[in-house]
Structure 1
Amino acid sequence: MKNIAKLHYITQALNSNTHAQAAEVACAAGADWVQLRVKDQPYEEWKEEALQTQAICRTYGSTFIINDNAKLAAEVGADGVHLGKTDMSPVEARELLGADKIIGGTANIFEDVQQLAAAGVDYIGLGPFRFTSTKQNLSPILGLSGFEQILQQCQLAGITTPVVAIGGILAADIAPLLATGVHGVAVSSVINLATDKLGEMQKLRKELQLKQDNVRPRSV
């Protein structure tokens, strides 16, 4: 089984910063899993963002995942891809990327989880937990009760694929979410919009009971 982090950081390009610059700040603060989330960019620009972000992840020893684009993940040699509901199927992505790469998929209802687990994904991003402005065409909000119901269904169905909660998650949400049976959480705005990114990352990692071994001071 592949090592799936308990804390997934998702990039945003904000305040004139690039995705790569956002990733560097997050990695310096302790992010050991980075998902490059680029939308509506030409392929070559997307590729350049991917190469720059991947170089930063390699420097910090962080796992590098590309959102949506399995072809690009294969081309640049990313650690894996996260697929949305309208992207390439996990089976096709596995054929393209090979057995060693990480493939994640997005779910909103239990039937999504079943399909992704049957397709052999390595983890499932389930959400949204609450409203988030970082994603367009947001699926119905699950809330804690939705997670409790779906994770209970997973247990009854014998589904053991790691489930990662996503969607407007804050540090205070982590303990109750972990109690539902999720493997970990994915975050974006809580880090990207924080004035004290290191402090916010430390709070998240503390709630997830993660050590701070890979935190490095920024050189810029």
Structure 2
Amino acid sequence: MKQVATLHYITQALNGKSHAQAAEAACAAGADWVQLRVKNQPYAQWKEEALQTREICRKYGSTFIINDNALLAAEVDADGVHLGKTDLSPGEARQLLGPDKIIGGTANTFADAVALVAAGVDYIGLGPFRFTATKENLSPILGLSGYETLLQQCCSAGITTPVIAIGGIVVADVAALLAAGVHGVAVSSVINLAEDKAQVVKGFKEVLSGVAV
């Protein structure tokens, strides 16, 4: 099983800064897993952001994942891809990227999770935890009780694929989500909008590693 970080950082282009600049700030603050999430941009611009972000991640030793686009992930030699429900299938992405790259997939239901596991993903992005403005066409909100139910179903089914919670998560949510059985969390705005990004990343990592309660 591939190593999947417990804290996944997702880029945004905010306040006049590019995705690559956001990734640089997050990596400098301690983020060691970066998902480049570019939406509604021409391919050439997306590729340029990807190339810049790849070099930033290599400089900091961070894992570099591209959202949605397995073809671009292959083209720029990213570490992997995160696939939404309407993207290339995990099986097709695996054929394209090979056995060593990381493939994650988005789930909102237990059936989604089962399908992703059958398709051989390396991790499941399960959400949303609560409403988030950073994602269009949001799936039904799960809340803590939804995670508890879904993860119990996964446990009963013998599913051991790491589950990453996503959707408006803050540090105060992490302990309960870990208790429910998630492997980690994916966050965006809580880091991107923070004045002290290093303190936010440190706070997440402490709880995720069990240092803080």
Hey, what's the Cα distance between the residues in 1 that align with 2:44 and 2:64?
Answer: 18
Could you tell me which runs of 5 or more consecutive residues in structure 1 were left unpaired when the two chains were aligned.
212-220
Match of 1:113 in 2: 113
- Report the alpha carbon displacement of residue 202 of structure 1 after superposing the two structures with TM: 1.0
Hey, what's the Cα distance between the residues in 1 that align with 2:132 and 2:210?
Answer: 25
Match of 1:96 in 2: 96
How many aligned positions are there? 211
Give the % identical residues. Answer: 75
Match of 2:170 in 1: 170
Pair 1:11–1:149, CA change in 2 (3 A): same
Q: Does the alignment pair 1:129 with 2:110?
A: no
* Normalised TM-score (structure 2): 0.98
- Report the alpha carbon displacement of residue 33 of structure 1 after superposing the two structures with TM: 0.2
What RMSD, in angstroms, separates the aligned Cα atoms of the two structures?
0.9
Match of 1:54 in 2: 54
- Report the alpha carbon displacement of residue 141 of structure 1 after superposing the two structures with TM: 0.3
* Normalised TM-score (structure 1): 0.95
Pair 1:210–1:34, CA change in 2 (3 A): farther
Hey, what's the Cα distance between the residues in 2 that align with 1:132 and 1:149?
Answer: 21
Deviations 1:159-217 (A, max 9, x none): 11100000000000000000011100000010011111111111111111279xxxxxx
Match of 1:17 in 2: 17
Hey, what's the Cα distance between the residues in 1 that align with 2:30 and 2:197?
Answer: 10
Hey, what's the Cα distance between the residues in 2 that align with 1:188 and 1:46?
Answer: 18
Q: Describe the SS at the equivalent of 2:8.
A: strand
Match of 1:138 in 2: 138
Q: Describe the SS at the equivalent of 1:53.
A: helix
Match of 2:87 in 1: 87
Hey, what's the Cα distance between the residues in 2 that align with 1:57 and 1:162?
Answer: 22
Hey, what's the Cα distance between the residues in 2 that align with 1:44 and 1:56?
Answer: 19
The residue correspondences of 1:34-73 to structure 2 (distance < 5 A) are 34-73=34-73
Hey, what's the Cα distance between the residues in 1 that align with 2:161 and 2:197?
Answer: 30
Q: Describe the SS at the equivalent of 1:40.
A: coil
Q: Does the alignment pair 1:208 with 2:208?
A: yes
Q: Describe the SS at the equivalent of 2:100.
A: coil
- Report the alpha carbon displacement of residue 88 of structure 1 after superposing the two structures with TM: 0.3
Q: Describe the SS at the equivalent of 1:65.
A: strand
Q: Describe the SS at the equivalent of 1:137.
A: coil
Deviations 1:72-119 (A, max 9, x none): 000000000000000000000000000000000000000000000000
Match of 1:186 in 2: 186
Deviations 1:59-82 (A, max 9, x none): 000000000000000000000000
Q: Describe the SS at the equivalent of 1:125.
A: strand
